Amino acid sequence: MIFFKGWDYMIRQCTDSDFEIIYAIINDAARKYEGIIPADRWKVPYMSAKELRHEIDEGVVFWGFEEDGQLAGVMGIQHVKDVTLIRHAYVRSDKQNRGIGRKLLSVLRSRTPRPLLIGTWADAKWAIRFYENHGFKMVSGEEKDRLLKKYWSVPDRQIEASVVLADSKWFNPA
Ligand SMILES: CC(C)(COP(=O)(O)OP(=O)(O)OC[C@H]1O[C@@H](n2cnc3c(N)ncnc32)[C@H](O)[C@@H]1OP(=O)(O)O)[C@@H](O)C(=O)NCCC(=O)NCCS
């Protein structure tokens, strides 16, 4: 499914045939975490093919930003209970800071009426700023623990080292 097609790029839902490139983009972009996130949470590859397959099987749907016939960035969306999660947002390291993340986020946001939540590493200051610049706000530490347990399946150690950001629909339900 193509959501947006400009003259030089398109944003489309990824298919099974994109698996290898999604895997490559995630593990290339995730190099930014090395030396920043807690050492016991860092590994190479950051996300194994098995973990990626598991995420897709659990309902994460990836969307991709494609230019010159190649995916340059991906972002996942997962509907869980009464909310939607933005999962695994990664733009190839040589394509970051050019507005690709912003375009992907804007398409994904438009695809759900539910409140949106995003979990990321507390030490990934650039990612927190990126989401804050798009109107997301950090929830309190207590709320973060509760939300990560309710909507995500992550180990306790990761909960400690994470933050959760939410959009205005979460803070001001209709
Ligand atoms: C976080 C991430 C997905 C954002 O994607 P991106 O394509 O780099 O994001 P954008 O280019 O839209 O925005 C990033 C910054 O570039 C700036 N920017 C956007 N277009 C620009 C342009 N044409 N020229 C210069 N700067 C630009 C934006 O102002 C933005 O600044 P901000 O973060 O302070 O708001 C990406 O940087 C990434 O993969 N990082 C490593 C992995 C990671 O942290 N993932 C998040 C997991 S939740």
Distance 99 CA to ligand 1 centre (A): 6
> Could you read off the pLDDT of 27-61 as tens digits, one per residue?
999 999 999 999 999 999 999 999 999 999 999 99
3-state SS class at 109: helix
Q: Is the pLDDT of residue 167 over 80?
A: yes
What is the reported pLDDT for 9? Answer: 92
Distance 94 CA to ligand 1 centre (A): 11
High-pLDDT (> 70) share of the chain, %: 99
Q: Is the pLDDT of residue 4 over 80?
A: no
Ligand 1 atom nearest residue 102's Cα: 12
Q: Which residue has the tokens 């999604």?
A: 22
Which residues approach ligand 1 with their CB closer than 6 A? Answer: 29-30, 32, 73, 89-91, 96-102, 120, 124, 126-127, 129-130, 133
What is the reported pLDDT for 173? Answer: 85
Distance 127 CA to ligand 1 centre (A): 8
What is the reported pLDDT for 152? Answer: 96
> Could you read off the pLDDT of 79-97 as tens digits, one per residue?
999 999 999 999 999 999 9
Ligand 1 atom nearest residue 100's Cα: 7
Ligand 1, atom 1, residue with closest C-alpha: 127
CB-based contact 112:47 (threshold 8 Å): no
Rounded to an integer, what distance in angstroms lies between the CA atom of residue 91 and that of residue 97? Answer: 9
Sheet harboring 162-166: ordered strands across? Answer: 2-5, 9-13, 61-67, 70-80, 83-91, 116-121, 162-166, 137-138
Scanning 45-99, the segments in alpha helix (DSSP H) are: 49-57
The answer to whether the pTM exceeds 0.75 is: yes
Distance 174 CA to ligand 1 centre (A): 30
CB-based contact 170:115 (threshold 8 Å): yes
Rounded to an integer, what distance in angstroms lies between the CA atom of residue 100 and that of residue 97? Answer: 7
Rounded to an integer, what distance in angstroms lies between the CA atom of residue 162 and that of residue 121? Answer: 4
CB-based contact 82:114 (threshold 8 Å): yes
Q: Which residue has the tokens 């190649």?
A: 70
What is the reported pLDDT for 70? Answer: 96
> Could you read off the pLDDT of 105-122 as tens digits, one per residue?
999 999 999 999 999 999
Rounded to an integer, what distance in angstroms lies between the CA atom of residue 120 and that of residue 59? Answer: 19
Ligand 1 atom nearest residue 119's Cα: 48
